[in-house]
Structure 1
């Protein structure tokens, strides 16, 4: 009888502890709901609701919550909270900073204005930070100090209206693997720091960045580097070669270098160099790169006969269109091409 009583007492204490812990972040979640103006998509966030029960996430198209074994919120997804009826445009809820055990935050396609609160950078457990397709403006938050999330691997702040320069402190995050700042209003040069993982991804397309790419990027084995749609220039040939980037997008810039001596290695599968000032001829390695399926060399200043054989059968004329004087399959034969006559003196 005594043993049985002890068992039920322990069981009761355990259950009480779990119930209590599962309510630990309740007030913070309700504060976030209030700051967002009580949107339709968070209608199920009410006092006493079991936030940590995955089956209780009754509106997963708007919000999702997962918890640790002790009932602390570790993952939060917020999406299109007002549905099609946009009622108001609140600032980004800084109440999220009260979720101190947060590992993953994904906020996308919601109508919030203002800037990203700096306290987000103090969530020391963060591994993924995603705030995309909102009306947020202001600077990209910097990560510095002893409380910065040293396990952060993925930052996606694309599709906002962020402005200013890229903070160099982003490159001090030791495990950062993917940095996506595409489709914002960023200006200035790209900082010389590098991402420290083996095959990082850097996506900065569709901003107003200027200057040249840092030469230090030549030592990085990027899984993808996309800086298209900016105002960058100079030489970017150091991105190419064995054990270098696997997917390179430099399109719609002012890059100017000789393609003749570029090595298209077997590890590269995509490259978009269109709408630049790249000159020279297309090297033989372009035809022999075994995994290259998605190239675009159009709208440059390339000239000469295209390489023959190899994998050239994969590529149509659009890949090479609007260059200075390229010829040979899949373009018209070189015998059909003649240089323009010299002007009369």
Structure 2
């Protein structure tokens, strides 16, 4: 399974931080590599009988998506919730969601929004507060919500969005492109290089709880201790609110190479090596510098004695909302660049990082 078919399956799966099981199970069953899970819900993919004397290069992605968690059930049957990951309250109301109940069933709900007919003037002139929002599943009492639908405190909640592809623009629309795009890239690259005689030992790391503080990466870095990590991310696109000169993350204009963000300053030697690989293979790229946000690289590059990293981003419009857009070309370029980096690495080059 590759390309659009793979991305559609991954995007439509549900995996809030700490509840990534559906994604992990899917990835485990769609790889020829051995898979192992740890206690925090990280998934590790490694080739059978891999050569231990070769330096280890890890391909990283995270399986979780921004979501919510049930905080309580109200007298009228509505559900109060807490955010998992970085949401802005303006992007939450009046959207469909899925709640995974205590039986593992997915229950349809909608984030309730008060009609303007019932709003005070003060309410109409401000954003709602997060603790004012609830989810409605169509019930009218606490008893109905609990007994008919088995909803309980701690159930995970995710956006209810179905993947679509526009063949005219080669643009995908769906949820969780942050970071199911990365999950797809890691799976594809691992399968594409499995029979190649590389000078590095390739492993896959699918981390949990990235959206809730990069927690999985902290565990994975200490556990695997790779010599180099390539991080694949669905990264924020800025082309719908910046002009062509100030935009550095335009969808469809090339993969993003992250120079700096709030968690990591990229290793310039690594960055130059990857830029040269991209140029040699006619892979377009954009250099981005962000004052905020971070990736798993923030944990990896300070893990142990320091692990050199590169972040390969795929520009994603409207990240951390229900509906996101991404370019299939950017995704394919990220996969190609990942493979070319692996083919160009050896022990001597890694020593110079």
Q: If the TM-score is normalised by the length of the shorter chain, which range does it land in?
A: under 0.3
User: Which protein, 1 or 2, shows the higher relative CO under an 8 Å CA cutoff with sep ≥ 6?
Assistant: 2
| Structure with higher strand content | 2
From the CA coordinates, give the structure whose radius of gyration is larger.
1
- Give the alignment's TM-score, normalised by structure 2: 0.22
